[in-house]
Amino acid sequence: MSRAYVLQPFRPPVNLQIDYERELNPQQHAAVTAPPGPCLVIAGAGAGKTRTLIYRVAYLLEQGIPAERILLLTFTNKAAREMMRRVADLLGGDLSSLWGGTFHS
Whole-number pLDDT of residue 48:
93
Whole-number pLDDT of residue 10:
56
- Residue 92, classed as helix, strand or coil, is coil
Whole-number pLDDT of residue 104:
72
Secondary structure element (H or E) that encloses residue 82, with its range:
helix 77-91
Summarize pLDDT for 88-98 with one digit per residue, the tens: 888 887 777 88
Among 66, 68, 56, 57, CA closest to 10 = 66
**Which residues, in sequence order, are CB contacts of 95 under 8 Å at separation 6+?**
67, 84, 87, 88
Domain range summary for the chain, segments of one domain joined by +: 20-102
User: Could you name the CATH architecture of 20-102?
Assistant: 3-Layer(aba) Sandwich (3.40)
Summarize pLDDT for 4-50 with one digit per residue, the tens: 877 666 566 677 889 999 999 999 999 999 998 888 888 999 999 99
Whole-number pLDDT of residue 11:
61
Which carries the bigger pLDDT value, residue 94 or residue 51? 51
